């Protein structure tokens, strides 16, 4: 046998062993000689099918990579919803649908309906309710109500400092200059600071949604690249391990979230303070911030409270059947209990 087939795939013979006499004898063809194979590398093992296998594997990896990147870019909400829907709603409903199918003689529709209602209401409500509250708060209380309370307090401090010396026409510029100063101190050159401030001002003045989105991205990138240039600085809270983090007076923030908060604050509060012109004073600043802080507290607390109440109420929505449908089909065994309950009820009467 001059060719060896293993698992239907041909290996090329690398070497033949045997004595010289054996090789040259007339019986050479009948002599079973030990054949040595070099174990080929994985990539060279399957000359034909290997290509298809590798291509398929690569395609699968690319697809997984693409899906995962999409999930990550959508944030925790998308991740949770994908996990919730693909991991809970579908398999649980499927199992409930076939629950006690043999005993019942048909699929367990009631159990499937309960399972689907419960799962479809539980997961998404944990995000959709708070999301709805935040969207409503922007309309009712202005975009600054989207700014986290600790950031709002810090921004108030900064506004208070810059408004006193401001001529007020360039309040936004003074505000952002102070913000950038607080983040980078003397670590970057004045020119670099000016570039960042100008980017922030463009974002502040942007009107269309697209413009805001693009400029948000641009400012975020500028801050990240500045962080990279700095490298590691413990005092400023900047690290190469995560250059998308900045530190504003002790508060560590994600750059993207921070830029969004800056825009939400300045397009609302700074504009309101600027509108007061020369009549601006501490009382006005206090009043605006008290309003925004109160609104923020109210919105987040009521959002979580509403969501919690809704979650508590969900069993009322899915428990439409008097009896637990998971026991349907097992009921014959349940007769004794039913009889007992009926007797108890009669006795009570």
Partner 1 sequence: MTIQAPSSINTSQYAFKPGKIQQSLANMGKHIPDKVHDFCDLTTKASMKRTTQFAVIAVCVLLARFLQARNNDERREILTRDTGMVFTAIYAVPLLKKVASMFINKKTGIPVAYGEKGLLKNINPEKGLQMASYEQLAEWLSVKNVESFNGIKNGFAGFCRNIKKLGGDLTKCFSMLDKNSKDTLNDLAKSLGYQKEITNKNVVGLIRQAQKSTDKNVLQKLDSLKTMFVGENKLLTNASNLKSVTGASCIAATAFILGGLLPWFNIQHTKKLYEEKKKSENNGLNNEQAKELPVNNSNMMNKFELFQKTGQIV
Question: CA-to-CA distance for 214 and 224, rounded, in angstroms?
Answer: 15
Half-sphere exposure of 185 (CA within 13 A, CB side): 12
Out of 156, 172, 173, 176, the residue judged to bind partner 1 by CB under 8 A = 156
Tokens representing residue 98 in the block: 């076939």
* Residue 196 interacts with partner 1 (CB under 8 A): yes or no: no
Stretch near partner 1 under the rule CB under 8 A, chosen from 5-13, 35-43, 194-202, 239-247: 239-247
The yes or no reply on residue 300 touching partner 1 (CB under 8 A) is yes
Of these, 92, 113, 187, 202, which contacts partner 1 (CB under 8 A)? 92
Window 202 to 231, contacts with partner 1 (CB under 8 A): 224-225, 228-231
Q: Is 101 in the site for partner 1 (CB under 8 A)?
A: no
Whole-angstrom distance, CA of residue 158 vs CA of residue 127 = 33
Q: Which of 110, 130, 155, 219 binds partner 1 (CB under 8 A)?
A: 130
Told to check if 314 binds partner 1 by CB under 8 A, we report: yes
Question: Which of the stretches 20-28, 173-181, 204-212, 324-332 binds partner 1 when contact is defined by CB under 8 A?
Answer: 324-332
Under rule CB under 8 A, residue 198 binds partner 1: no
286 near partner 1, judged by CB under 8 A: yes
Coil, strand or helix at 174: helix
What residues pair up with 5 in beta bridges, in sequence order?
A: 10
Three-state secondary structure call for residue 196? helix
Q: How far is the CB of 110 from partner 1 (least distance, A)?
A: 12
Q: List binders of partner 1 among 32-61 (CB under 8 A).
A: 61
d(CA 178, CA 341): 74
Among 211, 282, 320, 342, binds partner 1 (CB under 8 A): 282
86 near partner 1, judged by CB under 8 A: yes
CB of 119 to partner 1, least distance (A): 9
Query: With contact defined as beta carbons under 8 Å apart, do 31 and 22 qualify?
Result: yes
Determine if 287 is a binding residue for partner 1 (CB under 8 A).
yes
Is 77 near partner 1 (CB under 8 A)? Answer: yes
Q: Give the C-alpha separation, 50 to 43, whole Å.
A: 7
Q: How far apart are CA 159 and CA 168, in angstroms?
A: 11
Q: Which of 17, 160, 217, 342 binds partner 1 (CB under 8 A)?
A: 160
Distance CA 337, CA 346 (A): 14
Q: Taking CB under 8 A as the rule, does residue 320 contact partner 1?
A: no
Please work out the total of residues on this chain that contact partner 1, with binding judged by CB under 8 A.
Answer: 108
The region of 11-19, 31-39, 207-215, 279-287 touching partner 1 under the rule CB under 8 A is: 279-287
Position among 90, 217, 252, 320 found at the interface with partner 1 (CB under 8 A): 90
Rounded Cα distance between 36 and 17, Å, is: 7
Binding to partner 1 (CB under 8 A) within 240-269 occurs at 240-244, 257, 260-261
What are the start-end ranges of the H helices in the chain?
20-24, 42-45, 49-73, 75-84, 90-97, 101-104, 109-141, 149-165, 171-184, 190-205, 209-230, 255-265, 271-275, 282-318, 331-348
Distance CA 302, CA 311 (A): 14
Please select the residue that binds partner 1; options are 10, 17, 68, 205, rule is CB under 8 A: 68
Binding to partner 1 by residue 14, rule CB under 8 A? no
Nearer to partner 1, 72 or 249 (CB): 72
Residues 273-304: b if buried by 16+ CB within 10 A, e if exposed: bbeeeeebeeeebeebbebbbebbeebbeebe
Is residue 97 within the footprint of partner 1 (CB under 8 A)?
A: no
258: which residues sit within 8 A by CB, 6+ positions away? 151, 223, 246, 248
Among 65, 181, 211, 249, binds partner 1 (CB under 8 A): 65
Q: Which of 124, 157, 188, 202 binds partner 1 (CB under 8 A)?
A: 157
């Amino acid at each position: 046998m001059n060719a060896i087939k293993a698992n239907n795939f041909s290996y090329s013979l690398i070497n033949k062993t045997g004595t010289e006499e054996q090789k040259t004898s007339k019986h050479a063809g009948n002599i079973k000689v030990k054949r040595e194979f070099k174990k080929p590398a994985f990539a060279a093992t399957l000359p034909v099918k290997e290509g298809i296998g590798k291509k398929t594997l690569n395609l699968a990896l690319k697809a997984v990579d693409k899906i995962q990147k999409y999930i990550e870019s959508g944030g925790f909400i998308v991740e949770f919803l994908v996990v919730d829907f693909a991991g809970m709603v579908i398999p649980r409903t499927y199992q409930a649908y076939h629950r006690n199918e043999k005993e019942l003689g048909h699929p367990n529709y009631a159990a499937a309906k309960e399972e689907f209602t419960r799962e479809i209401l539980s997961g998404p409500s944990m995000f959709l309710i708070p999301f709805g509250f935040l969207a409503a708060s922007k309309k009712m209380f202005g975009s600054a109500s989207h700014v986290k309370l600790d950031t709002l307090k810090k921004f108030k401090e900064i506004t208070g400092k810059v408004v006193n010396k401001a001529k007020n026409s360039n309040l936004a510029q003074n505000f952002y200059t102070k913000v950038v100063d607080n983040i980078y101190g003397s670590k970057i050159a004045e020119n670099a600071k000016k570039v960042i401030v100008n980017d922030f001002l463009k974002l502040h003045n942007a009107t269309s949604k697209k413009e805001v989105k693009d400029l948000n991205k641009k400012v975020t990138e500028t801050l990240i690249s500045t962080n990279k240039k700095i490298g590691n600085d413990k005092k400023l809270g900047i690290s190469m391990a995560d250059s998308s983090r900045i530190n504003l007076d002790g508060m560590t923030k994600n750059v993207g979230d921070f830029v969004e908060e800056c825009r939400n604050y300045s397009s609302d509060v700074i504009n309101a303070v600027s509108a007061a012109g020369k009549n601006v004073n501490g009382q006005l600043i206090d009043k605006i911030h008290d309003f925004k802080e109160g609104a923020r507290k109210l919105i987040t607390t009521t959002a979580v409270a509403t969501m919690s109440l809704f979650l508590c109420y969900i069993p009322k929505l899915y428990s439409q059947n008097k009896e637990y449908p998971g026991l349907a089909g097992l009921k014959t065994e349940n007769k004794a209990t039913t009889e007992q309950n009926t007797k108890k009820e009669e006795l009570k009467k």
